[in-house]
Amino acid sequence: MAAIAIVVGVPGVGKTTVISRVVDRLGALGYNAEIINYGDIMLKKALELGLVENRDEMRKLPVTKQLYLQRVAAEWISKRSEEVDLILLDTHLFIRTPRGRWPGISENNIPYLKGVVQLVLIEADPEDISRRRMRDKSRIRSDYGSVSEIEADQLYNRYMSTSISIRYGCPVYILKNEEGKVDEAVEELVKVLERVITDSRVD
């Protein structure tokens, strides 16, 4: 079974930017790592069903629909090829819905997400995250809130990460993605994930 590292962070923290470069670096070092973006899989199904027109509409769907999409995506992930050393699962510990924060990992999808051996929580300065969101014109994030809400969301992620860590018995690595220092963040995470891969092989 492929080892899974769950990678989370508030939207705009730069997790997609960091992990796409991490996978390239791991490849150059001879490791076979693959990114699965949870939102992409949910979006594919949601589009097929005509539920949404873009990814930013998913978090506003009725929670029952989101639970369904979340479970379908987890089933898909559990059937993925097992020919890789590591899957980096790009996702969220919570989603901001109109009813409040809703868990991205819970009893709804944990039964399908086997092989989780690491949680990586990416953080950055809330002011920087706010500016990154504003620069990204491809997304509709006007409902994401102020700098103080970003700060509160990052704290909420820390609380949530403890429950995931306890559930899977896996470590939580907190990675800072500082402004203009993506290279440094990538190198730091590559070192951690090399340990994850070698530990998994020993197991």
For ligand AP5, the binding residues (CB under 6 A) are 9, 11-17, 37-39, 42, 55, 58-59, 66, 70, 90-92, 95, 104-105, 132, 135-136, 177-182
Between CA 188 and CA 183 the distance in angstroms is: 9
Phi-psi region of 113 (alpha: psi -120 to 50; beta: other; left: phi over 0): beta
The nearer residue to ligand AP5, 132 or 167, going by C-beta atoms, is: 132
Q: Return the structure tokens found at 27.
A: 């490849």
- CA–CA distances in Å: residue 190 to residues 16, 18, 82: 14, 10, 21
In the complex, the smallest distance separating the C-beta of residue 88 from ligand AP5, rounded to whole angstroms, is 12
Q: Return the structure tokens found at 91.
A: 């996702």
In the complex, the smallest distance separating the C-beta of residue 151 from ligand AP5, rounded to whole angstroms, is 16
The nearer residue to ligand AP5, 16 or 84, going by C-beta atoms, is: 16
The nearer residue to ligand AP5, 130 or 200, going by C-beta atoms, is: 130
The nearer residue to ligand AP5, 66 or 200, going by C-beta atoms, is: 66
Concatenating the DSSP letter of every residue in 85-103 gives SEEEEE--SEEEETTEEEE
In the complex, the smallest distance separating the C-beta of residue 199 from ligand AP5, rounded to whole angstroms, is 25
In the complex, the smallest distance separating the C-beta of residue 184 from ligand AP5, rounded to whole angstroms, is 9
DSSP β-ladder status, 86-90 and 33-37: parallel
Q: How many CB atoms lie within 10 A of CB 66?
A: 21
Between CA 65 and CA 59 the distance in angstroms is: 10
The nearer residue to ligand AP5, 15 or 87, going by C-beta atoms, is: 15
The nearer residue to ligand AP5, 183 or 199, going by C-beta atoms, is: 183
In the complex, the smallest distance separating the C-beta of residue 202 from ligand AP5, rounded to whole angstroms, is 29
- The amino acid occupying position 193 is L
In the complex, the smallest distance separating the C-beta of residue 8 from ligand AP5, rounded to whole angstroms, is 9
